Amino acid sequence: METQDETELCFPELFNTSCRKPKHPHSDAVLIYIMMPLTSLVTVILNLLVIISISHFKQLHTPTNLLLLSLACSDFVIGITMCFHILISNGCWVLGDIMCALYTILEFTTISASIGTMVLISVDRYVAICDPLHYLIKVTVKRLTICICLCWVCSVLYNSVLMYNNLEQLDRYISCFGECVIVVDHIAGIVDIILTFFAPVTVIIVLYMRVFVVAVSQARAMRSHITSITHSGTVSAKKSELKAARTLGAVIVVFLTCLCPYFISSLMGDMFITTSLPLQSWLFYFNSCLNPVIYSLCYPWYRKSVKLIVTLKILESDSSQAKVL
């Protein structure tokens, strides 16, 4: 018969070196074993629908939608990494030191790429609203593709350098078998938060404040009496851009609301991954599930695309030419 101590070990056969299973409060247990798996599943499914929609339908191959595609890709990966975070939160990591390091780099890279994409979205809306006459010239599919690729490549390189000490000696900070801990130097952690949180958030807020001011002035102008056909077309275009600005603004507000508690708690605490799952961590992950919900509420093309995907009509020939706008 197993003793009480043995039942609390991650690896009972390694009595002297195994980690002990943590005892979670009821609230944490609900987050780890119910909310986290459910959030992971919904996040993966909803963002996969966004990825398929924008990738498949030709009408959706626009600069702004490329940014949504990048964001959906990062949210999709975050949805997958939630499964690994459940293992960490459970207190018994069974995938080894290499997978622990790779998982951490993947998660940090995806978070950095997600934040970088939010900055690009802010720049895109800033140019569209504040310099509409040159928007089509300055913002092209080719240029945005290059910017998005650079964003992801820089995220990979940056986080690889940040995690170099952990990669150099995988078990440096491991105190027992079944533990996945990645430690970042305190100074490096402060620099990381400045580069991946405070600086991007400042850029996003400044740009969108400017967008908001210009959008309000344009909205007032559009309420004036314009009877010219030429001016009517201009107003229609402005309305489209303003609607996109409002929708993407909602995405950014939700993103910052979910992001701030996570980074503030990281700044106030130690810079490492622990075996606990505080509410602010789950809130950060939950944001990846909210973005497709915002699209479904604000973008008719997303609802049409999902209908075509769910009914398998995308398998028909020439389905990529379908009118979803």
Q: What's residue 245's pLDDT?
A: 67
290 or 17, greater pLDDT? 290
Domain enclosing residue 181, as ranges: 26-321
CA distance 256 to 283: 11
Q: Over 70: is that where the pLDDT of 191 sits?
A: yes
Q: Over 90: is that where the pLDDT of 144 sits?
A: yes
What is the rounded average pLDDT of the residues 302-312? Answer: 91
62-69 contacts at long range (C-beta below 8 A, 24 or more positions apart): 62/141, 63/124, 63/139, 63/140, 63/141, 63/143, 63/144, 64/121, 64/124, 64/128, 64/244, 64/248, 66/141, 66/144, 66/145, 66/148, 67/117, 67/120, 67/121, 67/124, 67/144, 67/148, 68/295
Q: What's residue 171's pLDDT?
A: 67
Positive or negative: CA dihedral 96, 99, 101, 103: negative
Choice among 17-21, 77-81, 206-210 with the minimum mean pLDDT:
17-21
What is the rounded average pLDDT of the residues 305-319? Answer: 89
Residue 39 within a domain: yes
Q: What's residue 24's pLDDT?
A: 66
Cβ neighbours of residue 222 closer than 8 Å, sequence gap 6 or more: 235, 238, 239
CATH value at residue 210: 1.20.1070.10
CA distance 24 to 108: 25
pLDDT tier, 308 (very low <50, low <70, confident <90, very high otherwise): very high
Q: Over 70: is that where the pLDDT of 3 sits?
A: no
- Tens of pLDDT, residue by residue over 245-300, are 677 777 888 877 877 777 766 666 544 444 445 566 677 778 888 888 888 788 88
141 or 209, greater pLDDT? 141
151 or 270, greater pLDDT? 151
- Tens of pLDDT, residue by residue over 44-72, are 999 999 999 999 999 999 998 999 999 99
Residue 11 within a domain: no
pLDDT tier, 85 (very low <50, low <70, confident <90, very high otherwise): confident
Residue 1 within a domain: no
Q: What's residue 219's pLDDT?
A: 64
Q: What's residue 154's pLDDT?
A: 94
β-partners of residue 272 are 183
Residue 180 within a domain: yes
Residue 19 within a domain: no
Q: What's residue 241's pLDDT?
A: 63
Q: What is the pTM of this model?
A: 0.82
Give the number of domains in the chain: 1
CA distance 178 to 159: 24
275 or 97, greater pLDDT? 97
Residue 16 within a domain: no
Q: What's residue 238's pLDDT?
A: 58
Residue 12 within a domain: no
What is the rounded average pLDDT of the residues 81-90? Answer: 77
- Tens of pLDDT, residue by residue over 222-247, are 666 454 444 444 444 456 666 666 77
Q: What's residue 153's pLDDT?
A: 96
What is the rounded average pLDDT of the residues 102-110? Answer: 87
What is the rounded average pLDDT of the residues 294-307? Answer: 86
Residue 274 within a domain: yes
